[in-house]
Amino acid sequence: MTLSHDVDGDGPAVVFLHAGVCDRRMWDAQWAALRGAGHRLVRCDFRGFGGTPAADRPYSDAEDVLSLLDTLGIARAVLVAASYGGHVALETAARWPERVGGLALLCSAVPGHEPSAELTALGAREEVLLEAGDVAAATELMVDSWLGPEADAAARAAVRTMQRHAFEVQSAAPEEAEPVEAEVDLTAVRAPCLAVSGAHDFADFRQTAAQLPDAEHLELPWAGHLPALERPAAVNELLADFLARTDTT
């Protein structure tokens, strides 16, 4: 199965991987800003998100991304990733380092990380609401939990729409299939990395740089978990600077 995706432009490839409460639409502002800037832009939906159906058997998001790169004839790409998308990007960069020319990670999850008590409690609250059939309340819990103080009404509406859609797609699947957890050796990552964290985010997502062999860390004092939606223009500037000084070929 090929992930639902968009492609635009020519040049070195830049692939956007979305957060677990969003889908590929979270990158609308970055897509518009980088279009025509000399890159081949790709964004995709993981299984059970956006336009990609939920899985009916065990699968690997990283292998799905690699398959998409192969389908599009992309030998090497910079991965721009948020939250769970960062987990997928790091797995891809560790397992197939020759395919990744750079990593821009925004509040990234890290393979093998043990969730904090705070994050575990949030997941439990979400599960209780979903098991009770209260998708609206579960959606609002996610909107309130994952967006920082800079998020405006448009950002909140975007996350609400994407998260609600994901809940509906996943709950409609005939059986629940989970991604396969691969053994990931982060010391195998060779790509230059910009690890961005948010001062208002969960602690789980503020430690990425410390776990990588060679990463530049930048903490945004204004950001929650989804800075690309909270202050799009600021993130566009960060990404443009990173791409300008990264060998993307």
Residue ranges of domains in the chain: 5-244
CA-closest candidate to residue 30, choices 234, 205, 193, 180: 234
Query: pLDDT 10s digit of each residue in the chain, 249 long?
Result: 899 999 999 999 999 999 999 999 999 999 999 998 899 999 999 999 999 999 988 999 999 999 999 999 999 999 999 999 999 999 999 999 999 999 999 999 999 999 999 999 999 999 999 999 999 999 999 999 999 999 999 999 999 999 999 999 998 888 778 888 888 999 999 999 999 999 999 999 998 877 887 799 999 999 999 999 999 999 999 999 999 988 766
131 CB contacts (<8 Å, ≥6 apart)?
Answer: none
Q: Are 225 and 107 in contact (CB under 8 A)?
A: yes
**Which residues have C-beta within 8 Å of that of residue 108, sequence separation ≥ 6?**
81, 82, 83, 85, 86, 87, 89, 90, 195, 205, 208
* Rounded Cα gap, residues 207 and 210, in angstroms: 6
Domain 5-244 fold is Rossmann fold (3.40.50)
Q: What one-letter code names the amino acid at 173?
A: A
User: Degrees (nearest 5) of the Cα angle 175, 172, 144?
Assistant: 110
Tokens of 66: 């690699």
